[in-house]
Structure 1
Amino acid sequence: MKIASFLFFIMCSTMLIRMFEDKSIKNMSNAFVSMYHDRLIPATDLFFLAENVYAKRYLLEETLNPDRTIEVSFSGLREKLEVHNKNIDSLVHKYEGTFLIKKEKSQLADLKTKLRDGIKMEDNIITMAEKHTLTEGRHLFESLGKAAFNNISGKLSELSRIQTDAGEELIRESESIVSGSKLYSTAQVCLAIFIGIMIVNLVLTSKVANISNDKFKLN
């Protein structure tokens, strides 16, 4: 009965360890999936978002260049800016669909506000240049427009840093899960060795018992 109880305990322990190991593997899989969907993809989207922001700034600077010799098409400029604005809206919407930590939500909300302010500023600059002169539009861009673009760039940089920090946290979590899996594997090996030892003891005990019985019968 003692041996049976020991074997039953070992069987239950092995099943429990197996359950913990399966859970660790699942958690590790979730961590890698999150690394890809919630960190790597958003980081790439932030890069493309920054590209669109820089492209808008370049368009405005080129249009308001006092040395330009080509006639300015303000309607064409608005259309080009609108294309970039749609791209930015799409990227921001996609970013919002990922898992966001508390600090990330706050920074993203600030970014959306600054993007809206930037669009209003762009419209004011174009209106000033169109209804008055390129020089006045350029002056407005230099005094307020550049600051708006710099604020947007600052928020994008902050979000990129958050991606890096969150990614490092996921890596540490994965390392912890791997350590746990190694511990479970070690426990399983130890139980297997213990079972082997018990089997050997049972065999030896059985042989001793048989020898004793044989001697008893001879006597």
Structure 2
Amino acid sequence: MSWSFRIEQRSKIALALGATFILITMAYWFVSYTVNQVGSQFKSVYYDRLVPALDIATIQERFYQNRLLLEEHILTSETDEMQAFENGMAQNASDIDSVLTKFKATELTAQEKLDLDELLLTKTKLETLQKAILVQSSAGNKEAALADYNGTSQTAFLDLLKPLHALSKLQGEVGHVLYASAEKQVKTLQILSYLIIGLAVIIALLIVTLLQTNRKIKKIKPQQFHWN
């Protein structure tokens, strides 16, 4: 009976140790997975939200600069100055195209894709009008150029700002959602850590109890029976 009890106790200890190993392995896998997810989300906040937000601000700034340069082109009669303004507008247009190409490569939501498509359409319309105004201004038709600048060009510029503002707003909203999700997963990791510690303590106490019980059994001497 003593041997069978010892085997039973050892089996319980082995089972407890095995359960501990399985729990720790599963917890390690879950923690590693969650940490990778959190890292990916913070990376997405930076590369797909923060950087694009700065890109949108750059695009908006370049469009404002081109509008001012176009006005200066209309107001001057100096050929050298007009050429300098045209060069400045061309450089800004090139910068805008480069930034938009980089922006397209980021992770976009469905709404962002719609706003981006609208931005590209309004951009094409505005640039077409600006080129026509430059032709008028270069030809000396300043009054017609100024009328179009304050009319159709102004309307096209305001239409372009709408998708730009929408994209800028979305960067903050989506970034906030990603940050909240990452923060939630971090809290889950904290709770899981506490649970692992609690389970480890419980299993350790169980093993200690089994060992102490086993030692007490060993100390009990078998009773001797005398047959008369």
Q: TM-score, normalised by structure 1?
A: 0.91
Matched, 1:71 2:71: no
Letter in structure 2 aligned against 1:21: V
What is the CA deviation profile of residues 25-59 of structure 1, one whole-angstrom value per residue up to 9, with x for unaligned ones? 00011011111111111111111111111100111
The answer to whether structure 1 residue 29 and structure 2 residue 39 are counterparts is yes
**Following the alignment from structure 1 to structure 2, what is the Cα–Cα distance between the partners of residues 14 and 79?**
65
The structure having more radius of gyration, on CA atoms, is 2
Equivalent residues in 2 for 1:53-92 (5 A)?
A: 53-65=63-75, 71-72=78-79, 73-92=81-100
Q: Partner residue of 2:48?
A: 38
Distance 1:99 1:185 in 2: 32
Q: Does the aligned pair in 2 maintain the 1:114–1:148 contact within 8 Å? A: yes
Conserved in 1, the CA contact under 8 Å of 2:136 and 2:145? yes
Conserved in 2, the CA contact under 8 Å of 1:53 and 1:84? yes
Pick from 176, 201, 205: which aligns with 1:197? 205
1:13 aligned onto 2:26: no
- In structure 1, runs of 5+ residues without a counterpart are none
| Alpha-carbon distance in 2 for matches of 1:62, 1:77 | 7
> Counterparts of 2:78 and 2:90 in 1: how far apart (Å)?
20
SS of residue paired to 1:216: coil
What does the per-residue CA deviation read over 1:106-149, in whole Å, with 9 as the maximum and x for residues that have no partner?
A: 11111111111111010111122233521110001111111111
Q: Which residue of 1 aligns with 2:179?
A: 171
Q: Any unmatched runs of 5+ in structure 2?
A: 1-10
Corresponding residue to 1:162 among 167, 170, 173 = 170
Question: SS where residue 151 of structure 2 aligns?
Answer: helix
Partner-residue secondary structure (3-state), 2:222: helix
Cα separation, 2, equivalents of 1:159 and 1:23: 31
The question of 1:52 aligning with 2:59 is answered no
CA contact (8 A) 1:14 1:191 kept: no
Q: TM-score, normalised by structure 2?
A: 0.87
Q: Is the 8 A contact 1:74 1:126 kept in 2?
A: no
The amino acid of 2:49's aligned partner reads R
CA displacement, residues 145-179 of structure 1 (integer Å, 9 cap, x when unaligned): 11111122222111000100110111111012112
Distance in 1 (CA, whole Å) between partners of 2:160 and 2:72 is 20
| Worse-superposed segment, 2-11 or 155-164 | 2-11
| Aligned-partner Cα distance in 2 for 1:217–1:61 | 112
Q: CA RMSD in A?
A: 1.8
The number of aligned residues is 214
Q: Distance in 2 between matches of 1:122 and 1:218?
A: 113
Q: Distance in 2 between matches of 1:49 and 1:131?
A: 29
- Counterpart Cα distance in 1 of 2:42 and 2:224: 70
AA aligned to 2:37 is N
Q: State the identity as a percent.
A: 24
Which whole-Å deviations, capped at 9, do the CAs of 1:168-217 have from their partners, x for residues lacking one? 111111012112211221221012101221122023212211221xx327
**CA distance in structure 1 between the partners assigned to 2:78 and 2:138 by the alignment:** 12
